[in-house]
Amino acid sequence: MKRYILIILAFTIVCPAFGQSMKRAFKSLEKLEYDKAKESFEKILNDNSQNVAANFGIALIKSDDKSAFFDIVDSWKYIELIKGRENELTQEEIDIIGEYFLNTEVRKTNRPVKKKIEIAQDAIEARLIKYIREENDLEAVYRVLELYPGYKHTDNVTHIRNQFEFRKYEKLNTLAGYEEFIARFPDAAQAPKAARYRNKMAFEEVKLKNTVEAYNNYIEKYPESRFVQQAAKLRNAAAFEKAKQVNTLEAFEGFIKLYPDALEIPDARKYQHQLMYEKAKRIKSLEAYNEFIRMYPDGAYYIDVFNLKATDLGMKNYRLLGFDSPDFVWAKALDYNEQIEVARSIAITSDGGYIVAGVTKDTLTNYTDAWIVKLDARGNMVWNKTIGQQFNDEVMKVLVAPGDEVVVVGYTQPGADTNLLNGWMFKLGNDGRKIWNKNLGEVSVASCAIDSSGKIYMATYVSDTIPDNYYLQVFNTEGTKVGERTYSQPGIFNEIAFSSDGSCLLAGSKWITFSDPKFYIRWEDTLKTGGTIVKASINNSYCAILASDTAMHNLIIYSLSGKNMVNCPIGHIDSVDIITDMLITAKNEVILLGNTSLNSYACKYNEKGQLLNEKLIPAGFRFVDAIKNNKGDITYLLSGNDYQVITYSSAGM
C-alpha cells in the first residue's frame, strides 16, 4: 500500500514537471530561442520518442528557415511520425500549443488547435516541396526519395531530381554525360531531349570519322535519331568513294547491292560500264562482249561494245565465208543478245549509212520480232530497235523515206493457234522512235517500194484459188491508203522499182511495164516464152529482168526506151534455185544472188549476159540482199545466226 502511494505521488510530481517542460519548450520557440526550444523538446523525446507535441515542436524548429537548425527535409520526418495522431494530445498540450498559435499567428483565427496543427503540417509539406523545387539542392532531393519512399509527392520529387540531374549533365555537355543520364534515368521527361543532344553530338563525331563503319554503327545505335537519313546519305557517299578507290567491277557491284537506294547508284553504274567496257576492249573476245551487252543492254558503252563485237565477229565470219577481195571495205556481224537473227533486207540512208532489217527470236517466248538496225557508213551501229506484236512477226522489206524515216513491210501472226499471217507495216523515225503501226489484213505482199515523196507502193494479192489481176496499192506518209490501181490481166508484180527520175518499173508473172512518174505507161512487154519474172532491177542505163521457167533462168535486159537488148538463158543456174536479189552495179554489171539446197552463191554478168564470175559461200550462210550506194560500193546482206553485212568498193568478185 505504501508502494502504491509512492507511485501515485511520483506521478503527481512528474506530470506537473512534464507540463512545465512542454510549456517552456513552446515559449522558447515562441521567442525564437531555437536552441533552448530544441533542447527542451529533445529532453521530452528522450523520455517518450512518440510524443506528438514534442515531435511537432521539433518539426516547427527544423522547418523554419530562420532557425539555425533549419532542415526542411529532416522536419518532415517528425511530421510523418505524428500525422493523424492529433487525438493523442493531452488537454494540457492542446492548451500549450493553442497559446503558441495565439501568440505567433499573424492573422488570428478561431480554428480548433488540432485543425491548426493540421494546417501547420500542410504548410511544412508545401515548404518542403517548394524548397525541393526551387533551391536546386540535389542532395536534399535524394534525401527525400531515400528517407520517405511512401511520400505522396514522390513522383513530383523524382521529376525534380531528373530535372536537376539533367541540368548538371547539360552543363557538362558531353556525349558520355548524356549517355550516362539516359542510362540512369531512362524514364525521365528530359530523356528524349538528352537523346537529341546525344544523337547530334554523336553525329558530329561520326562525321569527323567519315567512314562507312562509323556511319553504320551510328545508324544501328541511334535508329530514332533525326540524323539517320543524313547519316545514311553520308554513309553511301563514303561507301561510293571507297568503291572508287578500289575501282573494280566487284567493288561497284558490292556497293550497288548493299546500298540500292543510294544517290550515287547511277554514277556507280557508269563506272561499272566503263570498267566492263575497258575489260571487253582488253580481252577482245566474244565472251567479253556478250557479257557486257548482257549486263548493260542500255548502258552508255553499249553501242561501243556492240560495234567492237560486230567488227570482231564480222571479220571472223568474213574469213569463214572465203569472200576475199581487194575491194573489201568492212564486214560486220550484228547479234541481238546472242539470240538467233534472220536478216531480210537492207536499204541506204541519205547520210550514206544503212538500215538493216530482219527478225530475232525471243528465247523465252519462242516468238519472232522485227529487229531494225541503223548503221553508219562504216557499218557501226547507231541505234537498234525490236518491234513486235503479241505473236510471230516477219519482215519482208525495209524502205527509206524522205528524212531517213524507216518503213518496214512484213507479216504478223494474229493468233498463236493459226498459221494465218496478216500484212503488216510500220514506220520509225530516223532516230528509231516508233511513228505508226498498220495491220493490212489478210493479204500477201509480193513487192513494195517507196518514191521520192515518201508514198509507199505495194503489190498485194489474196491467196485463193481464183487468180487476181495485177493490183497496186498506194499509201501516204502516214500509212493511210490513198489510191489503188488494178490492171486488166491476171498476175502479181514481183518487183517494183523507181529510177532516179521517178519512173517506175513494174515486173511480175509474164508482164513488164515501164511508166513515167505519173504512172502513164511508156512501154510494156510480155514474155514470149513460158516462165515468170521473178526479179528485176533498174539503173540510169537499163533495166534487167530475170525470168524463170521449168528448165532454166533467162536474163533479159531492156534499154530505158524499151528495146530488148539481151535475152539469154543462164544454163549453169538451176531453175529450182531461189534467186533472192538482183542488182545492177555502177559498171552496168548484173549481180544475182541465189541459194541452192546446199549452198549460196553470187554471180556477176556483163551487160551482154555473159558470166564474169561466181562466188560460192559455205553452208550456214545465205545471201539475202544487196544494195549499191552513190559511190558505187556494193553491200551484201547475208543471214546466218546473225545479220552479216559486207561492203566492197565494187562487186567484190
Alpha carbon 619 to chain centroid, angstroms: 45
Cβ atoms of residues 644 and 313 within 8 Å: no
Closest CA to 330 of 15, 1, 629: 629
Q: Mean of the per-residue pLDDT values for the chain? A: 89
Residue type, 527: L
Angle formed at CA 392 by CA 387 and CA 397, multiple of 5 degrees: 60
Locate cell 522499182: which residue?
497
In the chain, DSSP finds a helix count (H) and a strand count (E) of: 16, 28
Question: How confident is the model over 210-260, as pLDDT tens digits?
Answer: 999 999 999 999 999 999 999 999 999 999 999 999 999 899 999 999 999
Q: How far apart are the first and last CA of the chain?
A: 161
Distance CA 83, CA 92 (A): 19
pTM to 2 decimal places = 0.63
- The H or E element that residue 202 is part of is helix 191-209
Question: How confident is the model over 314-356, as pLDDT tens digits?
Answer: 999 999 998 889 999 999 999 887 788 999 999 999 999 999 9
Distance CA 128, CA 9 (A): 45
Question: How confident is the model over 284-324, as pLDDT tens digits?
Answer: 666 666 776 666 666 556 787 788 889 989 999 999 998 88
SS3 509: strand
**Confidence at residue 394, expressed as pLDDT on a 0 to 100 scale:** 94
pLDDT exceeding 90 applies to what percent of the chain? 65
Question: How confident is the model over 359-407, as pLDDT tens digits?
Answer: 998 767 788 999 999 999 999 999 999 998 888 999 999 999 999 999 9
Asked if residue 631 has pLDDT above 70, the reply is yes
Question: How confident is the model over 411-457, as pLDDT tens digits?
Answer: 998 887 777 889 999 999 999 999 999 999 988 999 999 999 999 99
Question: How confident is the model over 71-123, as pLDDT tens digits?
Answer: 999 999 999 999 999 999 999 999 999 999 999 988 888 899 999 999 999 99
Domain boundaries, the chain: 2-135
Locate cell 533551391: which residue?
135
DSSP letters spanning 274-294: HHHHHHHHHH--HHHHHHHHH
Locate cell 519472232: which residue?
368
Lowest-confidence region among 31-45, 215-229, 549-563: 549-563
Identify the bridge partners of residue 342 per DSSP, sorted by sequence position: 359
Three state DSSP letters for 387-408: ECCCCCEEEEEEEECHHHCEEE
Using CA atoms, how far residue 383 sits from 270, 327, 356, 388, 608, in Å, is 20, 27, 11, 17, 42
**Confidence at residue 463, expressed as pLDDT on a 0 to 100 scale:** 66
DSSP letters spanning 134-155: HS--HHHHHHHHHH-TT-TTHH
**Confidence at residue 576, expressed as pLDDT on a 0 to 100 scale:** 64
**Confidence at residue 322, expressed as pLDDT on a 0 to 100 scale:** 87
